[in-house]
Copies of this chain bind each other. A is one copy, B any other.
Amino acid sequence: MTTEVRTIAFVLYPGLTPLDLVGPLQVLASLTQLGLPYRTITVSATTNPLPTDLPLNLSATHTYAEAPAPYALLVPGGGGPTFRAMADEELLDYLRTTSPQTELTLSVCTGSLLLAAAGLLEGRNATTHWACRHLLPRFGATPVAERWVTDGRFITAAGVAAGIDAALHVVQLLAGPEVARGVQTGIEYDPQPPLGGIDWSTVDFEQGEQWSKAMIQEGLSNHPALLAKLLD
Protein backbone atom coordinates (compact mmCIF):
# COMPACT_ATOMS: atom_id res chain seq x y z
CA MET A 1 0.00 0.00 0.00
CA THR A 2 1.36 3.40 -0.94
CA THR A 3 0.43 6.51 0.95
CA GLU A 4 -0.45 9.47 -1.20
CA VAL A 5 1.81 12.41 -0.50
CA ARG A 6 -0.15 15.60 0.20
CA THR A 7 1.26 18.84 -1.18
CA ILE A 8 1.19 22.02 0.90
CA ALA A 9 1.77 25.00 -1.39
CA PHE A 10 3.05 28.37 -0.18
CA VAL A 11 2.37 31.29 -2.49
CA LEU A 12 5.14 33.82 -3.20
CA TYR A 13 4.72 37.28 -4.73
CA PRO A 14 6.98 40.33 -4.91
CA GLY A 15 7.41 42.35 -1.73
CA LEU A 16 5.93 39.89 0.77
CA THR A 17 6.99 39.76 4.43
CA PRO A 18 9.31 36.72 4.67
CA LEU A 19 8.48 35.84 8.28
CA ASP A 20 4.80 35.37 7.27
CA LEU A 21 5.98 32.69 4.88
CA VAL A 22 8.99 31.15 6.58
CA GLY A 23 7.46 30.69 10.04
CA PRO A 24 4.67 28.33 8.84
CA LEU A 25 6.88 26.81 6.13
CA GLN A 26 9.53 25.81 8.68
CA VAL A 27 6.77 24.30 10.86
CA LEU A 28 4.95 22.42 8.08
CA ALA A 29 8.13 21.24 6.30
CA SER A 30 8.92 19.44 9.56
CA LEU A 31 6.15 16.97 8.67
CA THR A 32 8.27 15.81 5.72
CA GLN A 33 11.43 15.76 7.83
CA LEU A 34 9.59 13.50 10.30
CA GLY A 35 8.72 11.09 7.49
CA LEU A 36 5.02 11.96 7.31
CA PRO A 37 3.30 11.92 3.88
CA TYR A 38 3.40 15.66 3.22
CA ARG A 39 5.61 17.75 1.01
CA THR A 40 5.86 21.51 0.94
CA ILE A 41 6.42 23.54 -2.23
CA THR A 42 6.60 27.25 -3.00
CA VAL A 43 4.61 28.62 -5.93
CA SER A 44 4.72 31.87 -7.84
CA ALA A 45 4.37 33.41 -11.31
CA THR A 46 8.08 32.72 -11.79
CA THR A 47 10.87 30.73 -10.18
CA ASN A 48 13.23 33.71 -10.58
CA PRO A 49 14.25 35.54 -7.38
CA LEU A 50 11.57 37.89 -6.05
CA PRO A 51 12.19 40.91 -3.83
CA THR A 52 10.68 40.99 -0.35
CA ASP A 53 10.32 43.67 2.32
CA LEU A 54 13.73 42.51 3.65
CA PRO A 55 17.18 42.66 2.04
CA LEU A 56 16.61 39.12 0.84
CA ASN A 57 15.27 37.68 -2.40
CA LEU A 58 13.24 34.48 -2.43
CA SER A 59 12.75 32.00 -5.27
CA ALA A 60 9.88 29.53 -5.50
CA THR A 61 10.19 25.90 -6.51
CA HIS A 62 7.21 25.93 -8.91
CA THR A 63 5.37 28.30 -11.21
CA TYR A 64 1.57 28.46 -10.94
CA ALA A 65 1.37 26.46 -14.18
CA GLU A 66 3.72 23.70 -12.98
CA ALA A 67 2.45 23.31 -9.41
CA PRO A 68 0.44 20.18 -8.61
CA ALA A 69 -3.03 20.67 -7.12
CA PRO A 70 -2.31 21.14 -3.41
CA TYR A 71 -3.98 19.56 -0.41
CA ALA A 72 -3.38 22.84 1.45
CA LEU A 73 -2.52 26.36 0.35
CA LEU A 74 -0.95 29.20 2.36
CA VAL A 75 -0.88 32.89 1.46
CA PRO A 76 1.57 35.15 3.34
CA GLY A 77 1.03 38.87 3.80
CA GLY A 78 3.04 42.06 3.88
CA GLY A 79 2.74 45.84 3.63
CA GLY A 80 2.29 48.02 0.54
CA PRO A 81 3.30 45.24 -1.92
CA THR A 82 0.57 42.96 -0.54
CA PHE A 83 -2.01 45.63 -1.29
CA ARG A 84 -0.43 45.92 -4.75
CA ALA A 85 -0.91 42.16 -5.10
CA MET A 86 -4.67 42.64 -4.60
CA ALA A 87 -4.64 43.82 -8.22
CA ASP A 88 -2.46 40.94 -9.47
CA GLU A 89 -4.99 39.00 -11.55
CA GLU A 90 -2.63 36.07 -12.15
CA LEU A 91 -2.21 35.59 -8.39
CA LEU A 92 -5.92 36.08 -7.69
CA ASP A 93 -6.81 33.59 -10.45
CA TYR A 94 -4.46 31.02 -8.92
CA LEU A 95 -6.13 31.50 -5.53
CA ARG A 96 -9.64 31.37 -7.04
CA THR A 97 -9.05 28.19 -8.99
CA THR A 98 -6.86 26.40 -6.44
CA SER A 99 -8.41 27.15 -3.06
CA PRO A 100 -11.82 25.48 -3.69
CA GLN A 101 -9.98 22.20 -4.40
CA THR A 102 -7.94 22.31 -1.19
CA GLU A 103 -8.82 20.78 2.14
CA LEU A 104 -7.20 23.75 3.90
CA THR A 105 -6.58 27.30 2.77
CA LEU A 106 -4.40 29.29 5.15
CA SER A 107 -3.28 32.87 5.34
CA VAL A 108 -0.94 34.84 7.55
CA CYS A 109 -1.27 38.54 8.30
CA THR A 110 -2.60 40.55 5.31
CA GLY A 111 -2.52 37.36 3.24
CA SER A 112 -6.19 37.08 4.22
CA LEU A 113 -6.83 40.32 2.31
CA LEU A 114 -5.56 38.57 -0.83
CA LEU A 115 -7.99 35.70 -0.20
CA ALA A 116 -10.67 38.35 0.37
CA ALA A 117 -9.75 40.22 -2.83
CA ALA A 118 -10.09 36.91 -4.69
CA GLY A 119 -13.68 36.75 -3.39
CA LEU A 120 -13.00 33.75 -1.18
CA LEU A 121 -13.87 35.13 2.26
CA GLU A 122 -17.36 36.49 1.60
CA GLY A 123 -19.59 35.60 4.53
CA ARG A 124 -16.65 34.07 6.43
CA ASN A 125 -15.11 34.87 9.80
CA ALA A 126 -11.45 35.78 9.37
CA THR A 127 -8.53 37.65 10.86
CA THR A 128 -5.49 39.56 9.64
CA HIS A 129 -2.82 41.93 11.02
CA TRP A 130 -4.40 43.95 13.87
CA ALA A 131 -3.93 47.20 11.93
CA CYS A 132 -5.98 45.87 8.99
CA ARG A 133 -8.90 44.07 10.63
CA HIS A 134 -11.24 46.97 9.74
CA LEU A 135 -10.64 46.19 6.03
CA LEU A 136 -12.11 42.67 6.05
CA PRO A 137 -15.77 43.83 5.99
CA ARG A 138 -15.07 45.63 2.70
CA PHE A 139 -14.88 42.17 1.15
CA GLY A 140 -17.84 40.75 3.05
CA ALA A 141 -15.78 39.03 5.76
CA THR A 142 -16.33 39.38 9.49
CA PRO A 143 -13.17 40.30 11.44
CA VAL A 144 -12.42 38.28 14.57
CA ALA A 145 -9.68 39.35 17.01
CA GLU A 146 -8.13 35.93 17.58
CA ARG A 147 -4.62 34.53 17.00
CA TRP A 148 -6.12 32.41 14.22
CA VAL A 149 -9.68 31.97 12.99
CA THR A 150 -11.16 28.82 11.46
CA ASP A 151 -14.15 28.98 9.11
CA GLY A 152 -14.78 25.94 6.94
CA ARG A 153 -11.58 25.12 5.07
CA PHE A 154 -10.10 28.54 5.87
CA ILE A 155 -7.67 29.23 8.69
CA THR A 156 -6.58 32.86 8.76
CA ALA A 157 -3.84 33.91 11.18
CA ALA A 158 -3.22 37.33 12.73
CA GLY A 159 -0.10 39.40 11.95
CA VAL A 160 3.31 38.02 10.88
CA ALA A 161 4.47 35.88 13.85
CA ALA A 162 0.95 34.44 14.34
CA GLY A 163 1.66 32.18 11.38
CA ILE A 164 3.91 30.03 13.59
CA ASP A 165 1.13 29.43 16.12
CA ALA A 166 -1.45 28.76 13.40
CA ALA A 167 0.89 26.34 11.60
CA LEU A 168 1.47 24.37 14.81
CA HIS A 169 -2.32 24.21 15.15
CA VAL A 170 -2.46 22.79 11.61
CA VAL A 171 0.20 20.18 12.47
CA GLN A 172 -1.94 19.17 15.43
CA LEU A 173 -4.99 18.88 13.14
CA LEU A 174 -3.12 16.82 10.54
CA ALA A 175 -0.90 14.66 12.72
CA GLY A 176 -1.98 14.99 16.36
CA PRO A 177 -0.55 16.64 19.46
CA GLU A 178 2.47 14.39 19.85
CA VAL A 179 3.80 15.30 16.41
CA ALA A 180 2.95 18.97 17.02
CA ARG A 181 4.98 18.88 20.25
CA GLY A 182 7.86 17.23 18.39
CA VAL A 183 7.83 19.92 15.69
CA GLN A 184 7.67 22.67 18.30
CA THR A 185 10.62 21.18 20.18
CA GLY A 186 12.56 20.75 16.94
CA ILE A 187 12.29 24.46 16.12
CA GLU A 188 12.72 25.29 19.83
CA TYR A 189 9.58 27.41 19.85
CA ASP A 190 9.49 28.12 23.57
CA PRO A 191 8.77 31.85 23.31
CA GLN A 192 10.38 34.24 25.76
CA PRO A 193 9.71 37.73 24.40
CA PRO A 194 12.07 39.88 26.52
CA LEU A 195 9.28 42.32 27.41
CA GLY A 196 6.51 39.71 27.68
CA GLY A 197 3.50 39.42 25.37
CA ILE A 198 1.77 42.38 23.71
CA ASP A 199 -0.29 44.55 26.07
CA TRP A 200 -3.20 45.24 23.72
CA SER A 201 -4.60 47.97 25.99
CA THR A 202 -1.62 50.14 25.01
CA VAL A 203 -1.74 49.46 21.25
CA ASP A 204 -2.65 52.51 19.16
CA PHE A 205 -5.27 51.17 16.75
CA GLU A 206 -5.81 54.66 15.33
CA GLN A 207 -2.13 54.78 14.33
CA GLY A 208 -2.46 51.26 12.91
CA GLU A 209 -5.33 52.41 10.71
CA GLN A 210 -3.18 55.34 9.50
CA TRP A 211 -0.35 52.90 8.73
CA SER A 212 -2.72 50.68 6.74
CA LYS A 213 -3.99 53.73 4.83
CA ALA A 214 -0.42 54.64 3.84
CA MET A 215 0.22 51.04 2.71
CA ILE A 216 -2.99 51.02 0.64
CA GLN A 217 -2.06 54.31 -1.01
CA GLU A 218 1.46 53.05 -1.71
CA GLY A 219 0.30 49.74 -3.12
CA LEU A 220 -2.83 50.71 -5.03
CA SER A 221 -2.08 54.20 -6.38
CA ASN A 222 -2.76 52.93 -9.92
CA HIS A 223 -5.96 51.08 -9.04
CA PRO A 224 -8.66 53.68 -8.27
CA ALA A 225 -11.51 51.17 -7.88
CA LEU A 226 -9.67 49.11 -5.24
CA LEU A 227 -8.36 52.29 -3.62
CA ALA A 228 -11.91 53.57 -3.27
CA LYS A 229 -13.17 50.20 -1.99
CA LEU A 230 -10.54 50.20 0.77
CA LEU A 231 -10.43 53.89 1.71
CA ASP A 232 -13.91 55.39 1.22
Once bound together, how far apart are the Cα atoms of A109 and B121, in whole Å? 38
Give the shortest distance, in Å, between A54 (CB) and chain B (any CB). Answer: 5
A107 within 8 A of B: no
A58 within 8 A of B: yes
Contact B194 A193 (CB under 8 A): no
Contact of A26 (CB < 8 Å), options: B25, B60, B160, B187: B160
Once bound together, how far apart are the Cα atoms of A45 and B143, in whole Å? 45
What residues of chain B lie closer than 8 Å to A40, measured between beta carbons? Answer: 54-55
Residue of B nearest to A60 (CB): B56
Residue of B nearest to A159 (CB): B188
Size category of the binding interface on chain A = 35 or more
A residues 119-168 in Cβ contact with B at 8 Å:
129-130, 147, 158-162, 164-165, 168
A residues 18-51 in Cβ contact with B at 8 Å:
18-19, 21-23, 25-26, 29, 39-42, 49
Pairs across A and B, CB under 8 Å, 15 listed = A19-B22, A19-B23, A21-B56, A55-B61, A57-B58, A57-B59, A159-B187, A160-B186, A160-B187, A160-B188, A162-B188, A164-B193, A172-B194, A177-B195, A181-B195
* Residues in chain A within 8 A of chain B (CB atoms): 10, 17-19, 21-23, 25-26, 29, 39-42, 49, 53-61, 109, 129-130, 147, 158-162, 164-165, 168-169, 172, 177, 180-181, 184-195, 197-198, 200, 202-203
10 additional A-B pairs beyond A19-B22, A57-B58, beta carbons within 8 Å, are A18-B22, A18-B25, A26-B54, A49-B57, A57-B59, A130-B188, A159-B186, A161-B188, A165-B192, A169-B194
